Structure 1
Amino acid sequence: MASLIDIKQRITSTKKTSQITKAMQMVSASKLGKAESNARAYAPYVSKIHDVVTHIAATGNSSDHPMLVSRPVKRTGYIVITSDTGLAGSYNSSVIKEVFQEISTKHQSSEEYAIIAIGRNARDFFKTRQMNIVLEVQGISDHPAFAEIKDIASNAVQMFEDGVYDEVFIYYNHHINSISSELRREQLLPLTQFKDANAEAEKDLTVYEFEPSEQEILEVLLPQYVESLIFGALLDAKAAEHAARMTAMRSATDNAQDLIGDLSLQYNRARQAAITQEITEIVGGAAALE
């Protein structure tokens, strides 16, 4: 059995750990509220730009735009959103595992895919395995602004237009609520969903007037639309990250409290055993003197 001093030291260190995890839980809870607000506030913009693109695709001469046309797939691009830090449960591992399995299953060599890593965890995982990372970004703030990923988003779109890859998928954790999230895999390019733009546009009675021509607007709007999808996914993933870290730190705090209770019981039993032993020795010594 461990000594009383050892047990006491474990209780003290566990209490300190519990205080740290509790503080991290409260910080993550505070960040989660703002992250959820950011994601909700951005959703109307994505919805509106989607409506405008739908109307232009339905009424304009957009069938030959390279971002709307499917082509033979020689190389696939994967945008992977993870966090820079850990202590967030399975938040990072679930995304990384899904992408790794997808690449291992579909591709025979690194020439057949390209990875765009957003977050240090994804960068470190794929770089350690010498997988093909073409773009990376780290150090994104807890409440990111579009300027932080503008370059990587525009580069991702430009690389598709230049033929570096022929399709692009994005992987991230979608925030549902404070205790749950789900892995999302979405196709960003080509924008095949606008092939049925006529049927979708007929359901919307909004009338748009475009100046200059619809085709010129489409040339500018389509890249912005894809960039907005990437940024929206990042905001969503940040909310999921804060929720995952809050939940993980709550579980760590609860486990620490349970461990403190077990150690306290063990300490009291060891102390009682030591007192009993001392009393026995005293009684035995007194009896020997009689």
Structure 2
Amino acid sequence: MYGTIIKQIREDKELTLAATYFGVCSKTNAIAFEQGKRMLAADKFVQVLDNLLISLEEFNWIAANYQSSAPILQEYLLKKSWNTGQLAKFEQHLQLSRQKGLNDLKLASFRLLHAYAVKKPSDPDDLALVSRYFAELSLWTLADLKLFANVSCVLPFSLMISLLYEALKAKQRYQNYPGSDALFATLLINCLERTFASSKQELSSNLLKQLAKFTQGQELAGYRLYERYYQALFEYQYGNKLTGRQMLSKVLQIAEFLEEKRIVELIIEKLK
């Protein structure tokens, strides 16, 4: 099946067999693959995608007729409604999620987020499921890091900190992986909110130093703004209060201009 889709992509791009399967296989095997008569090894298939200049994620999107599978779409809608503060839509999507095929671990994490948002106690079973998953994790993947970044706000504080140190060890493996800096920046930002709330000065300082490493470059400007906010908050909370207030005011001006509502709300609350 995949071969026929590759053939369609190749023809749409007006690429030859030679160009598409260069360094992969012979013309005879390439034709057989595109006819669905043989498969390619995983590494060979990835090379074909690279020759076509598309990612595996985009290939799956094309293969699904430019749509996401039901679970992936539902997870996307949940994340979008959560990140944009649309709690009513988030709750609606959450109610549909089980029948759309979202797995139990992800469902539990989203239910925990919903309870957190509406200021209700976390379901003990959901919290136990998520906590146990991370506590028993021996190898962190990108999906694990994303999940942890999402639920860090609802985990017990001591567990969150313990897991954070384990999660950060994965950075060495993903040092040059595209988009990894943004993911680790998100993780640190979410955890920093709790270290400041818990008045953990030394821990907040250490996390801020690491955050600064992950927010370099134009494409990470939004994360850099959060880093500047927490630097200003650190000065305001632990250093010179007047200087910290001035720093927060400067960040506030930028956040208002960029319509970063979350940062605006946080700073206004601090400067009351």
Range into which the TM-score falls when normalised by the shorter chain: under 0.3
Higher helix share: 2
Higher strand share: 1
| TM value normalised by structure 2 | 0.25
| TM value normalised by structure 1 | 0.24
